[in-house]
Structure 1
């Protein structure tokens, strides 16, 4: 471990009181009807961070019916785009004003570095502002070429009540990729954050209330996937479900919603390849690879966890990646120097270790790391930066989503082989290509089965650019104009001008 950069525990920054989270239903903050609660212990130091109301069927029913009432009465959907935009902008301003508090609880509950948490909150501010702009620019279409006596209009209308189920790895950012777009479209919502990271969503609810949103437009139910998430997915008064999380749970949601044919949007897993050609800038590629696999401790659907390097440069590139990996500061999430923090849970730490051990037992070469990391002064769960080479493409570590700071290195010789390897998993979220030849980059971008393809970079993102996957990485898109389209239904209106309709029944 001496050749790995570790940031030891510094002064622990805890709020004066433990955060208390309650449900937001119909504009009121409520405890659970049975007074049940659950605690969240920080994965980095083990202290109790929050105590939250543990919801059940009663709370889900009340929240959904509150959203249904707010939508059906038109308090939100009939509001002008200008007025909805104004409230969204107010929320953005309030998020910015409260960014340090939000980032602190994000770090305490998720274990991610404080600097990363602050950057995510700033990113969320931009998303809310972008969604506010969309609220004022929504429009349908018209067709005046149907003949002199006909006019066709295409209306865009809000889909209705939306259930939003969000994950623990980016709790504030991902709710901000869903909620403001649904609100801009005129929908109402019920939100369930992960039970591992509930507090920042509750803070968002406080800010939404402070902004002056009508009661019932945004509701929050805290608790576990069963019964809260499952009930939100099947309730007959819900028109749409949007979920970010594992592919396995996403499939269950599709199955659960099939009886009612609810609209579904899913952002699921990924095993994202970066293909490095011999003419690539290896120093730039190595730095981006290290960022892509260790960002958020690899607990990221967009993790660049699968490197496919040309055999002429694979060894040199791997050496560069290992050297840089040793310099990445792992450790205390509250220290601004830290770039990689704690793993979300003990069970997940064990899962990551299991993938590495299985690869080693199958003959892979563990070039760096491969085991849990002890950080002096902290009792939490950490995992070492890990690089694994000498793999075969059929090994689980090379095909399945590890969701940890673990990099798999594969090699290729020809372009077609690289494309085949890149597309060889069931996922299709993101892919990357590194080459100085624009024709190589464009050819790969067209062949890659992925919702996003980066060329000579990794994980750049903008509010204007849609995000989502193909194959088992999901359905639909978030962000950009496509992000608001998910929350709209298209209605055709045909108008006859004057009394020009020919009689069908002859007199």
Structure 2
């Protein structure tokens, strides 16, 4: 531990605990019960939120249904919807620091990354506004002289949005503005571990002029809130980001009403390192990919597949960089890796590492929880594990922490086989100066996103989502926007005399 780079506790004055309330039909609603969130980094209560149940969930769904059916949002012009979304984007940028501090306290992520997440979300809202203005269907003028066909896109209806704790503001902004741009009304349930930034979003929506009932927020737990949002007959679609296990439960729950389900789930994302790659850049990207957001990221590059000729030297580079990554107080602007979200998850991360060691893997650095003076034990050391075989749990399952697994290969075919030997298919990457190798890998990798000579670059224009057990459907981009639309065909006879009667009246 002495050779790690540690940021001790700062003298930052923590704000008072945030008071979170439900937003139902345009009004803030308290409840008879509350629940608390204790900061994983500072071990103090940082939020107290109203605890929602069936009554609040029913009221929120009813408000969304009524608002949609009344057309106060779904039938207004796209120009007017876009104007509200653009106001929200401006308000997000005005409130970055306030939202980011609260998110850091609840999640344990570094404040610099929280600011980037919150501030960057404004671009998602602006892009969604542009899609609202430019959405269109098709016309078919070739069906005969007396027929005209028109294909229109309509909002799917009431959408349940269920978001996770690791990127609570960003992932909400991957869903909410696109649903609103389409004309849908929504009910949102944030994770009980990071509820406050979603409530703050509700404040911005009201200030921007979103009509009452269009966006409703219910705070609480998966049972009963998330369950009711997934099964209720008045909900037309559920969009969920979280674990694959919970995604499967939501799919089962939603099947009773055959509502649409969109899922963004787990990943076990590989980066393939070819011997001709720019190894300095690749090592930096691998280090970023495994430690960003404390490794608690569905896109984390938690396994690398390195050509055996360069594996030893490349791992040494990553280990050297790992020693320089700043772990510690997430309220310190220079901190790059903060706290693990719960003590239970910290123990789970460690169990993966210890099981790998028992199976013959080698820990190159780290491999244990990390206690920091003034902050407590809810941290984990930067960890690189080599001599990993493809059958080990650490190579196959989502560890969701600052832990990198190293596998090796001899040929590109073998690297692609290892890449695809996974239940997941969220993202993958390759580092090589050979464009042919990059293209072959990109085409054959079973993943929703493939990066070449970069990692985790993303843009509002590009759809995001996975294959296999990493999910179904897409978020952001035009394809993500289309998830919230239904297609309707209008078949119109415009000629009156040319149709031959089906029934001929006898004289």
**Is TM > 0.5 for Structure 1 vs Structure 2?**
yes
What is the number of equivalent residue pairs in this alignment? Answer: 504
Q: Secondary structure at the match of 1:24?
A: strand
List per-residue Cα deviations over 1:52-90 (Å, max 9, x = no partner). Answer: 000000000000000000000000001100000000000
Give the match for residue 179 of structure 1.
176
Q: Secondary structure at the match of 2:462?
A: coil
Residue 288 (structure 2) pairs with residue 291 (structure 1) = yes
Contact 1:192/1:220, CA 8 A, preserved across alignment: yes
List per-residue Cα deviations over 1:194-217 (Å, max 9, x = no partner). Answer: 000000000000010011111000
CA distance in structure 1 between the partners assigned to 2:377 and 2:33 by the alignment:
26
Contact 1:333/1:342, CA 8 A, preserved across alignment: yes
Give the match for residue 462 of structure 2.
465
Residue 53 (structure 2) pairs with residue 19 (structure 1) = no
Give the match for residue 145 of structure 1.
142
Q: CA deviation at 1:415?
A: 1.2
CA distance in structure 1 between the partners assigned to 2:57 and 2:76 by the alignment:
26
CA distance in structure 2 between the partners assigned to 1:13 and 1:338 by the alignment:
17
Alignment match of 1:123 (pick from 120, 132, 145): 120
Give the match for residue 8 of structure 2.
8
Q: Report the TM-score, using the length of structure 1 for normalisation.
A: 0.99
CA distance in structure 2 between the partners assigned to 1:226 and 1:351 by the alignment:
23
Q: CA deviation at 1:416?
A: 1.0
CA distance in structure 2 between the partners assigned to 1:432 and 1:200 by the alignment:
32
Q: Secondary structure at the match of 1:104?
A: helix
Residue 330 (structure 2) pairs with residue 313 (structure 1) = no
Q: Secondary structure at the match of 1:373?
A: strand
Q: Secondary structure at the match of 1:466?
A: coil
List per-residue Cα deviations over 1:359-392 (Å, max 9, x = no partner). Answer: 0011100111011011121125100000000011
Q: CA deviation at 1:18?
A: 1.7
Residue 155 (structure 2) pairs with residue 158 (structure 1) = yes
Give the match for residue 210 of structure 1.
207
Give the match for residue 428 of structure 1.
425
Q: Report the TM-score, using the length of structure 2 for normalisation.
A: 0.99
Residue 346 (structure 2) pairs with residue 349 (structure 1) = yes
Contact 1:43/1:380, CA 8 A, preserved across alignment: no
The runs of 5 or more residues in structure 2 that have no matched partner are none
CA distance in structure 2 between the partners assigned to 1:123 and 1:464 by the alignment:
14
Contact 2:110/2:338, CA 8 A, preserved across alignment: yes
CA distance in structure 1 between the partners assigned to 2:12 and 2:338 by the alignment:
14
Q: Secondary structure at the match of 2:262?
A: strand
Residue 268 (structure 2) pairs with residue 268 (structure 1) = no
Give the match for residue 236 of structure 1.
233
Give the match for residue 505 of structure 1.
503
CA distance in structure 2 between the partners assigned to 1:115 and 1:202 by the alignment:
21
CA distance in structure 2 between the partners assigned to 1:192 and 1:294 by the alignment:
27
Alignment match of 2:59 (pick from 37, 58, 62): 62
Q: Quote the RMSD (CA, aligned, Å).
A: 0.7
Listed as ranges, the matches of 1:411-450 within 5 Å are 411-450=408-447
Contact 1:45/1:380, CA 8 A, preserved across alignment: no
| Dislocated runs of 4+, deviation >6 Å | none
